[in-house]
Amino acid sequence: MTAALAFDLLLVAALVWSAARALTVADVFRGVVLFIVFGLLMALAWARLGAPDIALAEAAIGAGLTGALLLDAVGHLRAKREPGP
Amino acid sequence: MIDTWLPVGVVLSSFLPGLFIFFLAESRIRLRTALNLIGALAKLALIGVMLWGVLNDHEYVFRHTVLPGLDLVLKADALALLFVTLSAVLWLFTTLYAIGYLEGAPHRSRFFGFFSLCVTATVGVAMAGNLFTFFVFYELLTLATYPLVVHRGTEQAMRAGHVYLGYTLGGGALLLVGTVWLYGLAGQADFVHGGSLAALPPETAGQLQVVFLLLIAGVGVKAALVPLHGWLPLAMVAPAPVSALLHAVAVVKAGAFGIVRIVYEVYGVEFAQSLDLLTPLAIAAAVTIIWGSLRALFQDDLKKRLAYSTVSQVSYIALGVALFGPLGTIGGLVHLVHQGIMKITLFFCAGNYAETLGIHKISEMDGAGRRMPWTSLAFTLGAFGMIGVPPLAGFVSKWYLGLGALEAGMPWVLAVLAASSLLNAAYFLPVLHRIWFRPAPSAWPAEHIPQRGRWETAPLLLLPPLATAAAILLVGLFAASAFSPLDWAKLIADREYLQWTP
Amino acid sequence: MSRAVAALVVLLAAGLAAALGLAMLDLPEPAVRLPARVAAKLGDSGVDHPVTAVLLNFRAYDTLLEVAVLLLALVGVLALARPHAARAAAPAHPLLQTLARLVAPLMVLVAGYLLWIGAHAPGGAFQAGAVLAAAGVLLRLAGLLPAWAQPGLLLRGGLALGLLVFVAVAVAVLGQGSLLQYPPAAAGGLILLIEAGLTLSIGLTLAGLYLAGTEVEP
Amino acid sequence: MTDFLDPLPWLIMLPLAWGTLAFVLGPGRGGRLAIAAIALQGLLVLQLAGQLLAGGARVHAVGGWGAPLGIDLLADGLAAVMLLLAQAVALPLAIYARGYFAAQPKGRELFWPMTGYLLAALNALFLSADLFNIYVTLELLGLAAVGLVAIAGGQAPVTAALRYLLATLLGSGAWLLGVALIYGSYGSVSLAILAPLVGADAPLAATLAAALMLAGLLLKTALFPFHFWLPPAHGGAPAPVSALLSALVIKATFYLVLRLWLELFAPLTTVAAAQLLGILGAAAILWGSALALAQTRLKMLVAYSTVAQVGYLFLLFPLATLVPPDAAESAVQGGVMQAVAHGLAKAAMFAAAGSMIVATGRDDIGRLGGVGAHLPLTLFSFGLAGVTLMGLPPSGGFSAKWLLLRAALETGQWWWVAVMIAGGLLTAAYVFKVLRRAFLPVASGDRVTRVPRTLEFSAFALALAAILLGLFGAPLLALLAVGGAA
Amino acid sequence: MSVGLLYALAGAALVAIGLAGLLLLPQLLRKILAFNILGSGAFLILVGLGQRDGGIDPVPQAMVLTGIVVAIAATALALALARQLLDLSGRMRLPEDGPDAGAADD
């Protein structure tokens, strides 16, 4: 029980930390990466809450697809910032 | 069934042609004229039927519930018909005049469309059966007249329109607040003989006084009570037929008529007297009469002088209402009609001078009588009537107002009447002197319409003022006969003071 | 934005968190117990996985609207992508093409499995659709699917299929009861039918959100 | 029970279906389908209104489960009035849009599918009796509205759409948070189940939920000072879109505020909160009108007018909260009447403005000369709509003002009277600013072209409806009274 | 304290982070991240509170599944808009001054 609680507390801390860092880290790309990490941590949290359906969806859609979209947008942004040769 | 729809028919007889004209192509002159005249004649016919019925103690009432506890009521009683008949007759003349006046001018469909709406609103005001209905048409009147005031589209007209809107919408807002308040206190506020508010509990008296102030201020804007009159002299930039209608029938009369309805049929004249509301109203009217006349003295612009004269003359109506007793009432009501006939004649004539010879200022009028004798004759009759020369229309009004003042125990009103008549003479007689006794200049300011045989100007411009001028004489001469305005005013006064014995 | 405003916003957010926390620590016993009701009616729902029962039967109406939200989002993305007419897909690396040819069918199989298992265990149309979307993206990147910015009739039909089937089933049962009231005997079959349609459409839509969105002219 | 043509579900399924079909048909297609379907929806609403007037409020248990396990649809008087408004506005606008996009093709490709989803979301929202289901309808509504704003492309509309999207997402986020707290407190999200459970002794969570949901809705309704997103969004979109958004979309969230305030959270309301809403409403009226007056672009003027008119809606709360039932009834009637009247009038006004812009080729109040001569019916429609917004009789706007004024005087809150009167005069100022320009002759160098008849007549129909509402408002209030919503 | 309540509390913290980020960060991608974090927080609260007595509640779980799909839809639309703005204006942020200010002085 205590091990589980410790795990939960650690997970919660990681969730809050990754969320806060995703928004505050200087580089947008790293922010997006941290957000994907956050999404995966969320999937873990859902599993801990006995919600495997959400865990699956979160991993696939929340972290996966959202992450892909965001990464693509960052790439686009960078391409704009640094005009090609 | 038909009784219910007659009042609606009177309203629709100008509304429907108006709507139709609105969307008519500019070039469809014949159709437009036909619609105008059919509407005007149909209205007169309907009114004729109702006149007969009302004389025989019949009332025509149409009622439609708009919201729970809020009815739209059109009612043709004696008082309504006094005003409706005046509006319908003068509308016919003004329409004819306007057709002549605007020949070849742009935007005529728009003009006649709003012109018809304006008359619709006026007859609606006349036949409103309760305060709410009155308010509805009173606001419609504002909206219908604004495009007419700014019709010329000049900078000056736009500014006048702005001022006009500011005053009238502000007045409408006051009227609205007063009306809502009154409905809250009394439920409905139907117009009934002797008023309906006397039955309210005495502790509401203070509120009723405030409401009265709101209502009178609301209608006082259109009636041009000083200091709410600022829009009227500016609004004379409108085309002459509009000024004629505005000053004689539509706008200022709607305000004055509102005062009549509020005092007699909402509050009841005795109840208003018991709330000490009539004396302040009489004072406001007296101040307006004197102030308007004084300002008129100093105007060189003919239409402006006439406008200030209107400010002064319309308050005779309010004064008559404020004089407690049937004689004052008769004087006020009959002046509602008489002032309309006289003032419309004067504005028609002013329009003729401007259109024919380009005369806008009094200083340019020297010798105009020789070039335009018929117009000048009509103008002279109108001016004498205003001064109160017997046996013209204005004399009858002033006579009854004087008697009413004595009956009400307000002899100071006599002094006001006398002073006002002197001032009337002071600002009209010099004009007449110029017209008839000064030599004509070598050239007129801008002669638009040349003399053609016996016609000093376009026939449609000449005939309406001649007709109304004749009416000035006739209503004075035959004041005592049946169906004369005076006779009708007596009928109304009888019914309003049914329970009252001096 | 000024520092004062920023401080105020942070304070507001912190206050909200504190209020939420306080409120959560002081909750009454809920008056209604839905899990028990779900369990009681699970037998009539046509599936035996409670979440799927809620998603596609008890609260299937939410799901129906949500599918519409998803399709709508794609419509919005397409509206934005529109001005930049579809670019010819860049020729993909042959290795990628081979990989896509190998993996995509596998992913379709997985999707089918997830769809099937959804009636009894975690899984279902959304998860299956996500896998399908991944396959779609892969195929597109390999140049094996047509452009997305201006989907053709077939593709539009595929995108709309799930929602149309859902709506059709929802109103088809109106004659015997209310909206989406499946006849108990047919519930399982109808749910599977809807889910099959949804899987395809969700897969296409999710893929489209990625592909149409990223095809916007640089 | 087994009525296949029960209007409740069909009102939602029909627009979903035709929106989707319009998408399948392809870019720019589906207009005729939409018009036919909306007409059918209109008939369904009329049928529903008849049912309500005859037999009282109706519940449709989706899936046959019933609350709290399933989701209920509830049609009471208030919902029916809003449904009526939505279809009544949508039908002329659909006809208008067909003509508009024929003249101005930018953005027509995906207009119909989005409009279908927008109407589905509106109808679903009005009928929903389930807090979480309302969340989904809110998202459907918000995304459809945002998509429509951006539909014509261009930097300003895209910026406006983004601003709008962020605002609306934040609003729905707050709503969802509230739903979570409510579910945590009571174990249900069904309005019918929750209503008896929420009392004056509600836990902190319920109060917090009420505050969050209300705040989210105010943001979405663009009540001052949350109005920042509205003018660029409504002013920058194509005219039919602006009309739909101003007339209907913000009314949907207002409807939710009203429902929560009067029903679910009624035990939690306080005079202070009601006065605060009233003050925000008053500020919206004055600020919105003043800014409308300052605009140089026609559609921005109309959009700021919406900011102002939203303010009137919120005056009903101080007039209806903890006051005698008579006054409260009058206030609610006034508020709903204002929502309906503004919906019709603002749709007419945006439609008329769109026609003027098509005709003059630019969105500039200073260059409207000649519109009066060339598009008299359009200008007349604009004027009639203006009459309603000013609250002049006879019009729906006047009826609304009358009812609100009456409630204000009855409860002795004269300061709202002053606000309403001042707002009416300011409205007149900005309406006449447009009208007087349009009356002027064409400026040299400008051209005024004709616009399709359908544009002129559909706007006129809407304006006329707003006026007629003032003459025949009684049946609407009778419908509103069904089910004790008012 | 149950697992559910713990995660609900974490959800509250995430909501606060998301709210502050959404309001304060000017960069649009960050705003979109913040919105997703806010949403995740709300989802955690919904499920966490529903399961605070330790049991499993499928109803909020199904709701969250619905919510996640809605969130991805909104995110995709927001990103498409943000990219469009980037293409048109060269920036991925909203103009600072409010629209009222811009309108009043023109």
The whole-number pLDDT of residue E106 equals 31
Given its phi and psi angles, is residue D322 left (phi above 0), alpha (psi -120 to 50 degrees) or beta?
left
Q: Which whole number is the average pLDDT over C88-97?
A: 68
C24-58 tens-digit pLDDT:
998 989 999 999 999 999 999 999 999 999 999 99
**Residue D355: which residues within 8 A CB-CB, separation 6 or more?**
D239, D375, D378, D451, D455, D456, D459
Kindly state the average pLDDT of the residues B235-239.
86
Two tokens, residue D311:
């303010």
| pLDDT at D370 (0 to 100) | 85
The residues facing E93 across adjacent strands are E27
| Alpha-carbon radius of gyration of chain B | 21
Across all residues in chain B, what is the average pLDDT?
A: 90
Q: Which domain holds residue A28?
A: 2-81
E3-91 is classed in which CATH architecture? Orthogonal Bundle (1.10)
Kindly tell me the burial class for residue A4, based on how many C-beta atoms sit within 10 Å of its own C-beta (0-12, 13-18, 19 or more): exposed
Whether D1 and C66 lie within 8 Å, measured CB to CB: no
Identity of the residue in E7, E68, E75 whose CB atom sits nearest the CB atom of A12:
E7
- Residues B457/B378, Cβ–Cβ less than 8 Å: no
Q: How far apart are the CA of D233 and the nearest CA of chain E, in angstroms?
A: 10
What is the model's pLDDT at position C91? 60
**pLDDT of C147-191, one tens digit each?**
677 788 998 999 999 999 999 999 999 988 899 999 989 999 999
Output the pLDDT for position D447. Answer: 85
Which of A3-7, A10-14, C84-88 bottoms out in mean pLDDT, i.e. has the lowest? C84-88
pLDDT at res. B502: 47
Rounded to the nearest 10 degrees, how much is the dihedral formed by the CA atoms of C182, C185, C187, C190?
Answer: -100
The pLDDT, as a whole number, for residue B249 is 83
Sign of CA dihedral B345, B350, B351, B352: positive
Give percent of chain D with pLDDT exceeding 70. 99
Integer Cα distance of D257 and D246 in angstroms: 17
- The set of residues, in sequence order, having a beta carbon less than 8 Å from that of D442 and lying 6+ positions away, is D369, D370, D373, D374, D448
Kindly give the residue spans of alpha helices, DSSP state H, lying in B358-411. 368-371, 373-387, 393-407
Q: Which amino acid is at D379?
A: L
Confirm if D20 and D33 have CB atoms less than 8 A apart.
no
- Per-residue model confidence (pLDDT) at position D110: 92
Per-residue pLDDT, D153: 87
Q: Inform me whether the C-beta atom of residue D198 falls under 8 Å from chain E C-beta atoms.
A: no
Which neighbouring-strand residues pair with D71? Answer: D62
For the segment B112-125, what is each residue's pLDDT rounded down to a tens digit?
Answer: 999 999 999 999 99
Q: What value does the mean pLDDT take over residues E49-54? A: 91
Cβ count near E105 (within 10 Å):
8
Least confident among B76-80, B100-104, B130-134, B213-217:
B100-104
- Cα dihedral sign for B108, B112, B118, B121? negative
> Which residues in chain C have Cβ-Cβ distances shorter than 8 Å to E49?
24, 27
**For the residues of B78-115, what is the DSSP string, one character each?**
HHHHHHHHHHHHHHHHHHHHHHHHTTT-S-HHHHHHHH
Position B498 confidence tier, pLDDT thresholds 50, 70, 90: low
- The answer on pLDDT for C215 being more than 80 is no
- Identify the sign of the CA torsion D56, D57, D58, D61: negative
CA D414 to chain centre: 27
Chain segment B415-468, per-residue pLDDT in tens: 999 999 999 999 999 999 999 999 988 888 888 888 777 788 888 899 999 999
How far is it, in rounded angstroms, from Cα B461 to Cα B35? 20
Contacts of B161 in chain D (CB under 8 A): 436
Integer Cα distance of D256 and D195 in angstroms: 15
Bridge partners (DSSP) listed for residue B128? B74
Q: What is the pLDDT of residues D416-434, one digit of tens each?
A: 999 999 999 999 999 999 9
Question: Does the beta carbon of D176 lie under 8 angstroms from any beta carbon of chain E?
Answer: yes
H or E element that contains D466: helix D453-471
Each residue of A30-63: pLDDT tens digit?
Answer: 999 999 999 999 999 999 999 999 999 999 887 8
Helix (H, G, I), strand (E, B) or coil at D25: helix
User: CA B239 to CA D142: how far, in whole Å?
Assistant: 53
Residue A83 pLDDT class (50, 70, 90 cuts): low
User: Which residues are E103's β-sheet partners?
Assistant: none
Cα separation of B342 and B169, whole Å? 28
The pLDDT, as a whole number, for residue C216 is 46
Cα distances from A22 to residues A34, B343, D9, E20, in angstroms, run 5, 82, 43, 13
Name the amino acid, one letter, at B470.
Answer: A
Which residues does chain A have within 8 Å of residue C216's beta carbon, measured at their own beta carbons?
Answer: 76
- What's the CA gap between B254 and B251, in Å, rounded? 5
Task: Count Cβ atoms within 10 A of the Cβ of residue C153 and give its class: 0-12 exposed, 13-18 middle, 19 or more buried.
Answer: exposed
Q: Provide CB contacts within 8 A for B482, sequence distance 6+.
A: none
Q: What does the pLDDT read at residue B212? A: 96
CA C28 to chain centroid: 34
Distances (CA, A) of C4 to B283, C10, E31, E97: 60, 10, 20, 16
Q: How many percent of chain B have pLDDT more than 70?
A: 99
Nearest to D398 by CA among D432, D421, D430, D414: D421
- For residue A85, what pLDDT is reported? 41
- pLDDT band with cut points at 50, 70 and 90 for residue E102: very low
CA distances from B160 to B167, B170, B237, C41, D237 (A): 11, 15, 7, 76, 36
Q: Is A3 exposed, middle or buried (0-12, 13-18, 19+ CB in 10 A)?
A: exposed
Q: Which residue has the tokens 């025509």?
A: B60
Q: Show which subunits contact B, needing at least 3 CB pairs below 8 angstroms.
A: D
User: Which of B67, B179, B204 would best serve as a mutation to test chain D binding (most D beta carbons within 10 A)?
Assistant: B67
Strand B60-67 relative to strand D58-62: parallel, antiparallel, unpaired? unpaired
Whether the CB-CB separation of D305 and D389 falls below 8 Å is answered with: yes
State the CB neighbour count (10 A cutoff) for residue C157. Answer: 15
Q: Kindly determine whether residue E61 and residue A31, on different chains, have CB atoms separated by under 8 Å.
A: no
Q: Give the whole-number percent of chain C exceeding pLDDT 70.
A: 90
pTM: 0.94
Burial classification of residue B241, based on how many CB atoms lie within 10 Å of its CB (0-12 exposed, 13-18 middle, 19 or more buried)? buried
Contact (CB, 8 A) for B173 and D417: no
Cα C115 to Cα B100, C123, C132, E57, distances in angstroms: 85, 6, 11, 22
Domain boundaries, chain E: 3-91
Mean pLDDT of B217-234: 91
For residue D82, give both structure tokens: 């809003």
Average pLDDT of the segment spanning D35-62: 96
Q: How many CB atoms lie within 10 A of CB B194?
A: 18
What percentage of chain D carries pLDDT values higher than 90? 87
Q: What is the mean pLDDT of residues D186-206?
A: 93
- Summarised one tens digit per residue, pLDDT across range B125-167 is 999 999 999 999 999 999 999 989 888 888 888 889 999 999 9
| Residue recorded with tokens 């599977």 | C192
Comparing CA positions, the residue from B359, B358, B384, B248 lying closest to residue B302 is B359
Q: Can you name the residues that pair with B67 across neighbouring β-strands?
A: B70
Check residue C156 and give its pLDDT. Answer: 93
Tell me whether residues D421 and B176 touch, CB distance under 8 A: yes
The pLDDT score that the predictor gives to residue C92 is 65
Q: Are B336 and B344 in contact (CB under 8 A)?
A: no
Residue A81 has pLDDT above 80, yes or no: no
Residue E103 touches partner D, C-beta closer than 8 Å:
yes
Is E45 in contact with D180 (CB distance < 8 Å)?
Answer: yes
Task: Name the residue with higher pLDDT: B136 or B270.
Answer: B136
Nearest C-alpha in D relative to B66:
D471
The neighbours of chain E, by the rule of 3 or more Cβ pairs under 8 Å, are A, C, D
pLDDT at E96 over 80: no
Q: How many domains would you assign to chain A? A: 1
Query: Between chain B and chain D, are at least 3 CB pairs below 8 A?
Result: yes
Judged by a CB distance cut-off of 8 A, whether residue A30 touches chain E is: no
Quote ipTM for the complex.
0.91
Strand, coil or helix: what is D263? helix
Per-residue pLDDT at E97 exceeds 60: no
Which residues in chain E are closer than 8 Å to A28, comparing Cβ atoms?
Answer: 27, 29-30
Residue D260 contacts residue D214 (beta carbons within 8 Å) = yes
Mean pLDDT of chain D: 94
- Give the confidence band of E105 by pLDDT, cuts at 50, 70, 90: very low
| pLDDT, tens digit, 9 for 90 and up, residues D264-302 | 999 999 999 999 999 999 999 999 999 999 999 999 999
- Report the range of poorest mean pLDDT among B63-77, B438-452, D339-353, E38-52: B438-452
HEC string of D32-90 equals: HHHHHHHHHHHHHHHHHHHHHHHHCCEEEEECCCCCCCCEEEEECHHHHHHHHHHHHHH
Longest dimension (CA), chain E: 60
Domain boundaries, chain D: 272-486
Q: Work out the minimum CA distance from D412 to partner chain E, whole angstroms.
A: 34
Give the per-residue pLDDT at B108.
84
